[in-house]
Amino acid sequence: MSEADDNIQYRQLNGIVLAYLGDAVYEVYIRRHLIDEGIARPNQLQRFATKYVSAKAQAGLIDLMKQDGILSDEEAYFFKRGRNAKSYTHAKNTSVVTYRISTGFEALFGFLSLSGQDKRLDELAKWCIDQVDAGRVEYER
């Protein structure tokens, strides 16, 4: 399969499918960050991970990305595809709006992963971690 074929395939995927992958991709970055920070107890890992991966945190990160102007037009497009996609799951512990924005956040990460933009994925994940660590994002569920 050529690179152009790969390009067409991920561009045709539903925003929810992109979010499905993006959730896992972002989670790996967070887990690695926490382990690198020396957090080794499973209950601590889960508790600290919430700061980064909750729907509220992800929605806050998208707001900061918009404020700081760090998304390209293409990245904003894939965020919107995820945000606007019809989902059959319900928000837990958060508003529907926050849940949909966080789905868009995850779709963005799914898009970057499937399109092979590993350097950009690394940059964006590091930026997100830095924003949370700096206290710029609320995370409570």
* Alpha carbons 141 and 65: distance in angstroms, whole number: 20
Q: Tell the CATH topology of 3-133.
A: Ribonuclease iii, N-terminal Endonuclease Domain; Chain A (1.10.1520)
Q: Domain boundaries in the chain? A: 3-133
* Alpha carbons 21 and 113: distance in angstroms, whole number: 8
Give the pLDDT score at 2.
44
pLDDT tens for 5-64 read 555 587 788 899 999 999 999 999 999 999 999 998 989 999 999 999 999 999 999 999
- The overall average pLDDT reported for the chain is 91
Give the pLDDT score at 92.
77
- Measured at the alpha carbon of residue 47, what is the angle toward residues 44 and 53, in degrees to the nearest 5? 130
**What angle do helix axes 118-133 and 96-114 make, rounded to 10 degrees?**
140
Give Cα separations from 138 to 57, 60, 124 (angstroms): 6, 7, 18
Q: Is the pLDDT of residue 77 over 50?
A: yes
Give the pLDDT score at 127.
98
Q: By the 8 A CB rule, do 81 and 15 touch?
A: yes
Q: Is the pLDDT of residue 87 over 60?
A: yes
Catalytic residue numbers read 23
Return all residues near 18 (Cβ < 8 A) that are at least 6 apart: 10, 78, 81, 82, 106, 107, 108, 110, 111, 114
- Measured at the alpha carbon of residue 36, what is the angle toward residues 98 and 17, in degrees to the nearest 5? 35
Give the pLDDT score at 86.
84
pTM of this structure: 0.91
- Out of 48-52, 61-65, 86-90, 130-134, least confident range: 86-90
Q: To which residue do tokens 């924005």 refer?
A: 101
Give the pLDDT score at 105.
98
